Amino acid sequence: MFSDTYQRYRKFISIRQFDQAAQLAEEAHFAGDPKNPFWLTRQASALNRGRKYKAAQVAAQQALALDPANPYSLLAMADALKGLGRYEDAITHYREVAAAPKLAAIGQNGWLDSLSALSRWDRVLELLTRWDMASSRRLRWQTKALTALDRNDEALQTAHKWLQAEPDLPEALWLLADLEVRRDGLEAVLKRYGRLAKIASRPPVYKEIYASLCRRAGQPEMALKTYEKLDRGSANPWIQRKQAFALAKSGQEDEAIPMMEELLKDNPKDFYLNSGYQGACRRSGQLDRAIDFYNDLTERHPEEGTLYGWIKRIKKK
């Protein structure tokens, strides 16, 4: 049975209260056996989830000082290093994690993520030939690597195999649509997904792809109509985000700006949303509104340091 403390920790993680989870883990470590790395590792894991990678690295270092071979502590360190952009160092740790049977799949995935960040796609393909892994996961990485290397015909074949294994999988469909644009041109693929988007039995992702293609084709009004259909009866932040960008692009900044503000209240770290919001405010002559909004946002999220940079940027404009 799990302890009450660990149950509370898991509850904090499940509701995305990562700071509280990290604090609980730190307190549990000091209250328990100081030579046991368990709670230090849990602290590092929670900090990683909250994207506080430097603090996570420190906690993981303390855990590894107690047990240098602990695969869970090694994983926490690898995730922290990856978050800090130290991909080569992260790979060193992911390699050790991948050697642990219980964590092999997680270690492999972190290793491949780090290689992709370094654009070392040939190395990704090499490792895929050596590792024993689930077919769908192998096809996912093969498609991504072949696409990045512009081996489009092979990537298309692999994407189709991936979708046979996991029908209508959004990630695979987005990659497939991009590959089809490369092969057939934007106009042909736009027409194809326009037909697919009208089929009621198809998942919403087909409409999402169609709306995105409309934006790429310079048809923001059609994209907006599609996003409105998708958003009807739901409150999907991802769809609302796309809708806000389409509104701004079509010259409807007065509608886009309040929508972007609501989205930023929940996700102030979103770089593209911040950039799009400032652009919309600048074009519509509402920079004073933006400054007032960011001042309120810093009170709501005082720990989010990037907001002060956005305030400086908009004051310069």
Q: Is residue 239 pLDDT above 90, yes or no?
A: no
Q: What angle in degrees, to the nearest 10, is found between the helix axes of 186-197 and 205-216? A: 150
Q: Which of the residue ranges 6-15, 121-130, 165-174, 248-257 would you say has the lowest mean pLDDT?
A: 248-257
- Between 187 and 226, residue with greater pLDDT: 187
What pLDDT, on the 0 to 100 scale, is given for residue 127? 97
Q: pLDDT category, 232, cuts 50, 70, 90?
A: low
% of the chain beyond a pLDDT of 90: 65
CA distance 281 to 137: 42
The torsion region of residue 203 among left (phi > 0), alpha (psi -120 to 50) and beta comes to beta
pLDDT of amino acid 2: 55
Weakest mean pLDDT among 40-49, 205-214, 243-252, 273-282: 243-252
Closest CA to 289 of 253, 236, 243, 263: 253
Alpha helices in 38-85 (DSSP H): 38-49, 53-66, 71-83
Residue 238 pLDDT grade (very low, low, confident, very high; cuts 50, 70, 90)? confident
CATH number of the domain at 1-118, please? 1.25.40.10
Rounded-to-integer distance, Cα 190 and Cα 212, Å: 9
What's the token pair of residue 265? 């209240």
pLDDT-wise least confident of 41-50, 64-73, 211-220, 236-245: 236-245
How does residue 1 score in pLDDT terms, banded at 50, 70 and 90? very low
- Whether the per-residue pLDDT at 236 is higher than 90: the answer is no
Between residues 247 and 70, the one the model is more confident about: 70
Question: By mean pLDDT, which of 92-101, 184-193, 286-295 is the weakest?
Answer: 286-295
Question: Do residues 213 and 177 lie in contact, with contact meaning Cβ atoms separated by under 8 Å?
Answer: yes
Q: What pLDDT was estimated at residue 251? A: 82
Please state, as a whole number, how many other Cβ atoms lie within 10 Å of the Cβ of residue 53: 20
Structure confidence at residue 234 as a pLDDT band (50, 70, 90) = low
The span from the CA of 283 to the CA of 266, in Å, is: 24
pLDDT tier, 48 (very low <50, low <70, confident <90, very high otherwise): very high
Question: Which pLDDT score, from 0 to 100, does residue 145 have?
Answer: 97
pLDDT of residue 161: 96
**Across 39-43, 112-116, 140-144, 289-293, least confident range:** 289-293
pLDDT of residue 235: 58
Mean pLDDT computed over every residue of the chain: 91
Q: Which pLDDT value is given to residue 148? A: 96
pLDDT in tens, 147-160: 999 999 999 999 99
Instruction: Give SS3 for 43.
Output: helix
Give the pLDDT score at 228. 80
The pLDDT of residue 34: 86
Instruction: Report which of residues 164 and 269 the model is more confident about.
Output: 164
83-87, 109-113, 133-137, 246-250: segment of lowest average pLDDT? 246-250
| Domain boundaries, given as residue ranges, for the chain | 1-118
